[in-house]
Amino acid sequence: MILLWCALALAGAPAAPDQLLVASPRGERRVQIVTERGFPAVSAAQLATVLSLHASTMTPGTAAVRVLGRLHEFVLDATYFRSGGRVYTLAGSSYLARDSLFVPFQWAVEYLPRLEPRLRYDAARGRLEEFAEAPRVVLRGPDAPDPRPGAITLRPTPGGRRRHVVAIDPGHGGVDPGMQGPLGGRTFLTEKDVTIGIARHLERELEARGFGVVLTRSSDTLIDRSDRGRIAGAGGAHIFVSIHVNAANPSWRNAARARGFETYFLGEAQTEDARRVARMEEAVVRFETNATAERGDPLRFILLDLAQNEHLRESSRLAQQVHGSLDRVHPAESRGVKQAPFTVLYTSYMPAILIETGFGSNEADARFLAGDAGQRQIARAIADGVERYFTDYDRRVGTP
């Protein structure tokens, strides 16, 4: 959740190490990160020594970088680039220095992995890697070695039962930290860190129970809301679970005391509180670069609505099961199961829910959510709810 009272600037680009480790099947090297223009940048020529990348200048004042066959066009000293017919904003600019083209670090580690399926950035290791082919779904037995990094792991289900796959969507990421809290004291919670923490615990819980898992993001990067459902679909997911942290409106009376958890599925918001949560979650659009006119196209929305209608009943069942499981472990009060028109829900062509795991603006909720023990409890409860949902689903429709 984005705090409406925080001024968040594009300058919140990913923190840069001193060097970027670049790797590919051809080898690896460390590329120096420079900050001579007030923002981190890297030499395109150095990247090209390892990656499938070719840089050249075009007309005066412009440059082109072709990565794995895809063209990225830059206007020198401007904070944007063009690729695939779309324009993307940057926190820094491309520029020429010492007869070499320098590109923003943000472009290399945030945009390239989003636009190029064969590239992955590991923020914890400061490593940008090009794979020989795009990560794919692999099946393996319980004792088989781990597949190469970036692959989606699906373990066979005991007894040959139906293989269910769950998409886990950790909210926010990258330049979008989400909400930060609590109110009225030292800030120690950032939503994007909590959501990825819960997601990783949930991934382990579900895999241990024989489910397949698809993560919409596995590192600190921003994925457009409209892309999250597509990632889930491409991974063969059957349900979609989006994880978020709530925040009180600071204009409320005793705002810092508001706490509790709630679960949403797609629909028109029925209460002012549901409309407030939807507005705050949708505010992430300020960070997204994939915003197009079709998002506001009424015909497109109608078609999406028709496609989702068949999943609404299952989404409601899933929401009830997961929310009931959370109610058994969460220290705060239940705020109920609700409906709201979140983009990540109506662009997921499957039963889909969004969980507000607590109020990061409340100190007690924030301490529960920021701690590893609390994140584990939430993940286990979500996994319990998912397992109950699929047990009921298999009973109703049959299991091959």
pLDDT in tens, 69-103: 999 999 888 888 888 877 777 878 999 998 899 99
Beta strands 261-266 and 239-246, pairing class: unpaired
Alpha carbon distance 152, 161 (integer Å): 20
Q: pLDDT-based confidence at 186, cuts 50/70/90?
A: confident
pLDDT (0 to 100) of residue 249: 86
**Of 298 and 193, which is predicted with more confidence?**
193
Contact 285, 291 (CB under 8 A): yes
Beta strands 212-215 and 334-340, pairing class: unpaired
* DSSP-assigned letter for residue 398: -
Report percent pLDDT > 90 for the chain. Answer: 48
Q: pLDDT-based confidence at 310, cuts 50/70/90?
A: low
Contact 209, 158 (CB under 8 A): no
E-assigned strand segments in 33-182:
41-43, 53-57, 62-67, 70-75, 80-83, 86-89, 95-97, 100-104, 119-122, 127-130, 137-139, 152-154, 165-170, 180-181
* DSSP-assigned letter for residue 15: P
pLDDT (0 to 100) of residue 392: 93
Q: How far is CA 392 from the centre of its chain?
A: 29
**Of 65 and 163, which is predicted with more confidence?**
65
**Of 120 and 356, which is predicted with more confidence?**
356
Q: pLDDT-based confidence at 234, cuts 50/70/90?
A: confident
Alpha carbon distance 122, 398 (integer Å): 41
Phi, psi torsion values for 183, nearest 5 degrees: -75, 145
Q: Minimum mean pLDDT among 54-63, 88-97, 316-325, 352-361: which range?
A: 54-63
Contact 245, 179 (CB under 8 A): yes
* Domains, the chain, with CATH or none: 19-130 (3.30.457.10), 137-397 (3.40.630.40)
Q: How far is CA 210 from the centre of its chain?
A: 23
Res. 262: pLDDT tops 80? yes
The one-letter code for the residue type at 260 is: G
